Structure 1
Amino acid sequence: MEGKYKMKKLYVLALGVIFSTSGAYAEPGFDCRKATTPTEHVICSDDGLGVLDKEINEVYKKCLASVPDTEALRVEQRKWLKEERSDYKTDVGHLKEVYTQRIAELKAKLK
């Protein structure tokens, strides 16, 4: 009987750990409560895209702090958001590819 109790206790503990950490890494770089576009809703519903969105946001901020022409970078990023990212709207696979490519482009600007 004592063994069963220990197993239940471990199970509950494991579930608690899983649920307490499961959204921590997936939060995108924007507030999902304010998501308005189909693309934003998909990003909020997919952990992988959430992670990529957060990463692109962090790399973009680093670029803004280090590149000489911040206005050109802002224009480039807005264009990417409107054209590249929006082209795939809700296609998770393609969005992940586009995000990965853009992150690499931004990281190259940091070198």
Structure 2
Amino acid sequence: MRFMTLTPILLRLALPLAVSLAGLAATGPARAQSFDCEAAFERVEVMICTDDALGALDYEMNEAWSDTIDMAADPAALMRSQRAWLRTRNACPDSACVAAAYRARIRVVRASPRAGWSVYRNPALGLTFEYLANREVRACPEGFERCVSLHGRLGGQPDRPLMMFQRFDGPLEAVAQSEAGFEARDGGWFTTYGRFEPQAVARSRSQGLERMQAVITCGISDENGFHAAAGECYWGVLSDGRRSVVITTEGVGGLDAATRHSVDTLQFVQP
């Protein structure tokens, strides 16, 4: 069964959501606030929107949060402390207090403990790989045989499907062609799935496995409908010559270093 039957996951939500707790995406120029200034009603939010220095600190906080929350050892605890900090910030009487609150909180967020690595090992499936300890490996949806799915935080949102791993018997090229839609032509390999022109497939060997990988423009769906070319889907095939695994994402996420680490550390194991 090919991964083309996957249901696309939701479009990435704006990273500033957890910082503002207002559910509003950042808009405007590069140093836009982490909330919609036109909808600001809190006294401190209005202060931030009218003070360039505070706006810059809010932007820096948003960057620190975006870099940290998905990788945090305990994202739920970090969210709770962020909510508590927002109450403290909103109680500030003046801009000096707000600025001091931001500077202190940015240091705390950036120093938050990061999740370590866990090892997934499934002899029945014949696979092992490392994954971020704040993520979870689950069985794939019904209809996918010999398959597991990696779930975790994405853009500050919990429990998103990040990547799927499906085992097949057979050598690299045969599985790449039948299950990943890769095609040999003109002395190389190219994608046949995705939007726009076929993409060249990169081929390599590392950790004792042959690898074929490509990133294609693909469609994704969100609450507003289907977007034909809004995603970037990763397709990879790894093989030890007898067994192969097809690895794919659904167009949103899965290209970050932590998720690619799971691909880089994958190995086949004996049942």
What TM-score do the two structures reach when normalised by structure 2?
Answer: 0.30
User: What are the residue-to-residue correspondences of 1:28-39 with 2, within 5 Å?
Assistant: 28-39=33-44
Equivalent residues of 2:73, 2:113 under 8 A apart: no
Moved over 3 A (4+): 23-26
Aligned to 1:100, which of 93, 100, 103? 103
Which residue in 1 is equivalent to 2:53? 48
2:92 aligns with: 88
Q: How much does 1:110 deviate? A: 6.0
Larger radius of gyration: 2
Shift of 1:37: 0.5
**Deviations 1:20-65 (Å, cap 9, x if unpaired)?**
xxx9465211110110100000000000000101111121121111
AA partner of residue 68 (structure 1): A
Structure 2 CA distance for aligned equivalents of residues 51 and 110 of structure 1: 25
Contact 1:52–1:99 (CA under 8 A) maintained in structure 2: yes
Quote the residue 1:79 is aligned against.
84
Matched-pair contact (CA < 8 Å) for 1:28–1:49: no
Percent identity over the alignment?
Answer: 34
Count, aligned residues: 87
* Alignment correspondent of 2:122: none
Q: Please report the RMSD computed on the Cα atoms of aligned residues, expressed in angstroms.
A: 1.9
Residues of 2 paired with 1:43 and 1:54: CA distance? 10
Equivalent-residue separation in structure 2 for 1:50 and 1:58 (angstroms)? 12
Is there any run of 5+ residues in structure 2 with no aligned partner, and where? Answer: 1-27, 115-271
Distance in 2 between the 1:110 and 1:28 partners?
Answer: 26
In 2, the alpha carbon distance for the partners of 1:26 and 1:50 equals 7
Higher strand proportion, which one?
2
Matched, 1:59 2:64: yes
Runs (5+) with no aligned partner, structure 1: 1-22
Secondary structure of 2:111's counterpart equals: helix
The structure with the largest helix share of the pair is 1
